[in-house]
Amino acid sequence: MTVGAHNKEIQIHFKSYLLYVGFGLVAGIITRLSDFFPNDDLWSFSSIATLFGFWMLTVTLIIYYSSSNKNAAINVLLYLFVMSFSFYFLKYVLGFFIPRFYTEGFQWYLFILYSIFALVCSAISYVLYFWNKENKLSNFLYALPVSGLAAETIGVSIYLYNNHTFLFQFIFDSLSLILLGCWFYQKVNNKLIYIATIVTTTLIGYFLIYRPFL
């Protein structure tokens, strides 16, 4: 690779990093502002910040549109790290003006906790990008984010039925599941592995993560 081509590649990656920093900033602000909505009515718009559907969808899209394993890992890390910072920093700022947001200082504990979570997701993103290899492993990897959305959709639907809340999250998760599931179904080579992985992983995810809270 020539020096010019190498510099051009660095510029492209730098622009993508800035882009995902911006996405993280916007996501953190939007999800924090969703706290202005009640969390116990039928729609519960604030649920977008407390459940995983929004993050599973956006992180999956970031991985898909990245250019390499390393690029995917860095993009996801920047997105989640900046999102967490803007989420808790905005709460800290709003606390000076609105009593419901007041906390005694910046919530460093939660910020550090979710920063560690961002590092874990970054490592997972590095692995998930291998779905571009178009082999049997890619059929399994494509199914994982779809399974996560499916597990949450089941959990939220049961919670909606029992408590008459989280309607917005149910609609969001359902649409994301359908769109992502159908899209990846068209890309996999072995439909059977893809579907079997979704069914198995969805059940595991539901009973381990969502069932205990229902």
Per-residue pLDDT of the chain (214 residues; tens, 9 = 90+): 554 544 556 666 778 899 999 999 999 999 999 998 988 899 999 888 889 999 999 999 999 999 999 999 999 999 999 999 999 999 999 999 988 888 888 999 999 999 999 999 999 999 999 998 878 899 999 999 999 999 999 999 999 999 999 999 999 999 999 999 999 999 999 999 999 999 999 999 999 999 998 8
Say if CB 167 and CB 160 are below 8 A apart: yes
Cβ contacts of residue 49 below 8 Å, gap of 6+?
Answer: 31, 32, 34, 35, 87
Residue 211 buriedness (CB in 10 A; 0-12 / 13-18 / 19+): middle
Residue 166 buriedness (CB in 10 A; 0-12 / 13-18 / 19+): buried
pLDDT of 100 reads 83
pLDDT of 11 reads 67
Q: How many CB atoms lie within 10 A of CB 152?
A: 26
Say if CB 70 and CB 126 are below 8 A apart: yes
pLDDT of 7 reads 54
pLDDT of 12 reads 66
pLDDT of 3 reads 47
pLDDT of 117 reads 95
Cβ contacts of residue 103 below 8 Å, gap of 6+?
Answer: 91, 92, 95
pTM: 0.92
> How far apart are the C-alpha atoms of 113 and 118, rounded to whole Å?
9
Q: Where are the alpha helices (DSSP H) in the chain?
A: 3-33, 47-50, 53-64, 69-94, 108-128, 136-163, 167-187, 191-205
